[in-house]
Amino acid sequence: MNHTYEICLAAGVVIPLISFAILAIWGSAIGKPRASYVALAAIGVGLLLATYVMVGWLGMTDAARHDLSAAAYRYHWADLGNIPITVGVKLDSLTVIMYFMVTFVAFWIHFFSIGYMEGHSDEVDGQSKYHRFFAYLSLFCFSMLGLVVSSSLLFLFFFWELVGLCSYLLIGFYFDKKFASDAGMKAFIVNRVGDFGFVVGLALSVLFLRTFDLDQAAATFAGQFHAHSGVFAASLNLFGWHVSGMTLATLMGMCLFCGAIGKSAQFPLHVWLPDAMAGPTPVSALIHAATMVAAGVYLVARVFRLLTPDAQMFVAVIGCITLTLTALIAIVQTDIKKVLAYSTLSQLGYMVFGMGAGAWIAALFHLMTHAFFKSMLFLCSGQVIEGCHHEQDIRKMGGLRKKMPVTCWTFFVGVLAISGFGIAGTHIGLGGFFSKDEILAVAYERTFNWPPSHEADSHEESLAVSDEPRASARAALRSSIAPDIAPADPLGTSPFRLVGTEQGESARGEGDRAGSLNARGSASSGHATGTPTKLSIASTLRAMPRWMFWLPILIAYVTPFYMMRCWWLTFAGRPRDQHVHDHAHEMWKMYVPLIVLSAGTLFCSYWVFRPLIADAAAAATDSSLIVAVDGEAHTVAEAGGGTMLTVTHAPEASSPHHALIAIAGFAWIIGMGLAWLIYRNGLRLAESLRRGVLPIRLAHKALQEKLYFDHVYDNVIVMGTRAVAVVVYAFDKIVIDGLVNLTAIFGRFVGSFTGRQLDMPIRKGDFGLVDALANGIAGVMLDAGSQIRRPQNGRIRTYVMITAGTAAVVLLAVLFSDQIGSGLEAIRRSLVVAGG
């Protein structure tokens, strides 16, 4: 099998790593401008490889793509018990297009950085920061590309962590400023909180699904679902265990999503992204707009097949809350990068919400377009900040249109893109027009036209039908739907069999028939439609609550408002600070990327991205529990494809797209116009409104304090942790140290006691055995010696006496020796008699 594309993609992952190694080891020797060329060359090679793969992939047929993907090489890395861990390049359309997007955006941001970092890397303390920046950028590219191509959840997690590390390193790039290093720590720690959930999800997946590979996990998951719904349920089955009302499967999906909450800065863990603006602007553009924060959404896309309806609803709720809160906070921001940061948070909320609503294609499409225009907006803001002599406060800007024309108009293109500029009803528009609109269309379907099959049934009956074939077709439809309301047969929903095989073909054919019937029967309602199996699954899902539709609609009005406010206050009107205005200028190295990215936003988004994402959607969303909805209106013939529901093209006004045109189609004009009205003459009108109207003042204060999230986290979590630390420290110092000291004291006492008693006395009461023995023996010897010495008293008289006495005794003994001898003999005999 031909593995060229995999090798190309893998090479593109490894080359930035080599660049990182080179710059890390020899960076300072390579020197200031050339270090950036190394990194630029690495990512440039990556871009070339990505383009090659994409061009080749686009030229392949569906069957060829499926074959190539199924035969991909998997490297058996290790075994976890008897679970093999394999890793390889997951070769499908989503990988290809995501890879291309990441390398493209990264390349132009590298280009921008060369100009930007010229003035920003001071040779401080003899330590040049320039090569360090590009080393970290290369490491980040390696990690992000690895994350994109990873076929195994475990390796995705490895790269996930690496991306978090690079984010920390790059945010805290100016580490000698405390708020920058604090922001880096905050980003990493908040990410880790989310990663805790991710690890729990990974653990559940390896324990119950016994694999990390994404495709196998999805297949096992579907198998467990079907096994559980039958008579014989497997014991180690995710659906057999319940924790506080949720199945373990739901818990696993929610835990895996926790990682995305952390990485993509969703509702409770969104606090790190605005602070991350302390890093250099290219970092904000690359990491916190286009790629790293998109990794969370990418993860949800990859594990879509592992979600249950409850988990999906959780995802949608979190996304909805995020997009609302952060858009409201963005209205009152005065730092240009903070506005863009909150705008990013809000758009990420849209993407996550889209995933939760089932708009798989739309959410990823929004991710791609957002990457382009948000990174372009960040680069524009970087240009503005650079040009205005490091001024970031928009209250001090104004009237920069004449001084920085390229920046001004590319920023405006970005504002239009994010606002969803487009002429309703046609295909003329910029990125947000297509992607956000599609998400909202799917949300509309999920809220008002749900569940689809029941509606189709009732609607069909309401039509007047006269001809035979239609009635028989309707009967056939009903009979084909009815048995499928029960849990679907495994064959029909197996992900491996549905795409590109005769089973899939027949299902699609059936779906076509049913879909077309459905469409004809319900053509006037434009409902979502699909294969009978998918419709039956959809009928088990709850409709979304109304507020989850209306909030994104409201924010669709708010988004253009705050973006236009930002643009107008920065570029239009009269300059509010003359000094800043005088200094403003543009640099060619920095506005070439802006032009390229704006061209991307204008032209490439719809016709290049969406088809590839749509192609990947078929396999990636084939779940037995939830459905993805293709929000794009198709004609009847295209409808009812494989694994997703499709919104059909309806001629009447009740199609979701038509409804949306009425609800939010002109949101961009209204939002931008409102902003122009209020901020036309600068901030005076807004200020007077704020001072005069109490609700506005209170709301403004709350939003300015970022809805008190940071305060609450600081006081509850940080202070709480510190309090626990104080308690534990006291315990350590008093109890544990006390125990240790007590042991020491005890040892010392025992030693001293035994020493004194057994060896050597110090005080009066001590015994001192050994010393007493030694001294005693010595004393005895001394006494014996003195006693023995006593005869020798030095006196002659005594010596004479002893001599004479001894002589006398000897004389007597000799004289009476016989008698002595016989007497001794007699004594001896008597002793023997007495003894014997």
Residues in contact with other proteins by the rule CB under 8 A: 789-797, 800-801, 804
The distance of Cα 184 from the centroid of its chain, to the nearest Å, equals 15
Nearest distance in Å: CB 746, other proteins: 53
Nearer to other proteins, 749 or 799 (CB): 799
Closest CA to 322 of 288, 350, 280, 360: 350
Nearest distance in Å: CB 821, other proteins: 26
CA distance 100 to 54: 7
Nearer to other proteins, 763 or 797 (CB): 797
Nearer to other proteins, 469 or 794 (CB): 794
Contact yes or no for 361/617 (Cβ under 8 A): yes
- Residue 331 is classified by DSSP as H
The pair of structure tokens assigned to 263 is: 């990485």
CA distance 221 to 624: 9
Nearer to other proteins, 82 or 786 (CB): 786
Q: Is 250 exposed, middle or buried (0-12, 13-18, 19+ CB in 10 A)?
A: buried
CA distance 445 to 775: 106
Nearest distance in Å: CB 788, other proteins: 8
Nearer to other proteins, 428 or 804 (CB): 804
Nearest distance in Å: CB 783, other proteins: 14
Contact yes or no for 573/687 (Cβ under 8 A): no
The pair of structure tokens assigned to 181 is: 């290093």
Nearer to other proteins, 788 or 833 (CB): 788
SS3 318: helix
Nearer to other proteins, 687 or 783 (CB): 783
Nearer to other proteins, 78 or 784 (CB): 784
Those residues whose C-beta lies under 8 Å from the C-beta of residue 409, and which sit 6 or more positions away, are none
CA distance 458 to 481: 13
Nearest distance in Å: CB 799, other proteins: 10
- Residue 85 is classified by DSSP as E
Nearest distance in Å: CB 797, other proteins: 6
SS3 635: coil
Nearer to other proteins, 695 or 794 (CB): 794
Contact yes or no for 39/134 (Cβ under 8 A): yes
Nearest distance in Å: CB 820, other proteins: 22
Q: Give residue 689's identity as a one-letter amino acid code.
A: L
Nearest distance in Å: CB 779, other proteins: 18
Nearer to other proteins, 695 or 791 (CB): 791
Nearest distance in Å: CB 784, other proteins: 13
The CA–CA distances, whole Å, from 678 to 331, 563, 577, 612, 667 equal: 12, 13, 20, 42, 16
- Residue 836 is classified by DSSP as -
Nearer to other proteins, 175 or 816 (CB): 816
Nearest distance in Å: CB 775, other proteins: 23
Nearest distance in Å: CB 812, other proteins: 14
Contact yes or no for 211/217 (Cβ under 8 A): yes
Within 13 Å, how many C-alpha atoms sit on residue 242's CB side? 5
The pair of structure tokens assigned to 560 is: 């253009």
CA distance 810 to 801: 14
Nearest distance in Å: CB 827, other proteins: 32
Nearer to other proteins, 746 or 799 (CB): 799
Nearest distance in Å: CB 777, other proteins: 21
CA distance 481 to 563: 48
Nearer to other proteins, 763 or 790 (CB): 790
CA distance 785 to 311: 102
b or e along 135-157 (b: 16 or more beta carbons within 10 Å of the residue's beta carbon)? bbbbbbbbbbbbbbbbbbbbbbb
What value does the CA radius of gyration of the chain take, rounded to a whole number of Å? 42
